[in-house]
């Protein structure tokens, strides 16, 4: 399978408190995002707590999206404004450049809208 140069593609990662992925995706779609992969995670930091000898870690969700830089900037601004660290979602996001991409499935993708 041949790799393709991505050019202007960014990987946008959003980390939020568990239970807010639907709301964050609504904000991201309104800003131009097309889709995402959502993963369950747990957070650990300075506020690490124990109760009766059991460690309580905060449940998180991570949202990964691939998009062009202009769209990534719009999505980041929208997420910051509506679901950022001062909201209940306590969202943070960052981007990383993507060097190459490839499709790993064998079935045809639906046409772009």
Residue 20 lies in a domain: yes
Give pLDDT tens digits for 14-42.
Answer: 999 999 999 999 999 999 999 999 999 98
- Confidence (pTM): 0.78
Residue 3 lies in a domain: no
5 in a structural domain:
no
Q: How far apart are CA 74 and CA 27, in angstroms?
A: 10
pLDDT in tens, 75-112: 999 999 999 888 999 889 999 999 888 777 666 666 76
CATH number, domain of 27, equals 3.30.70.120
Q: Which domain holds residue 21?
A: 14-44+57-99
Number of domains in the chain: 1
Encode 47-73: b = buried (16+ Cβ within 10 Å), e = exposed. Answer: eeeeeeeeeeeeebbebebbbeeebbb
Q: What is the pLDDT of residue 44?
A: 72
């Amino acid at each position: 399978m041949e790799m393709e140069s991505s050019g202007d593609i960014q990987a946008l990662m959003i980390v939020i408190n568990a239970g807010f992925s639907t709301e964050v995706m609504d904000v991201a779609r309104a800003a131009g995002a097309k889709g995402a992969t959502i993963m369950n995670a747990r957070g650990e930091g300075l506020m690490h707590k124990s109760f009766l000898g059991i460690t309580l870690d905060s449940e998180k969700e991570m949202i990964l999206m691939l998009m062009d830089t202009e769209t990534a900037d719009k999505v980041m601004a929208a997420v910051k404004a509506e679901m950022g660290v001062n909201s209940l979602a306590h969202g943070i996001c960052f981007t990383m450049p993507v060097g190459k991409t490839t499709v790993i499935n064998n079935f045809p993708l639906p046409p772009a809208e």
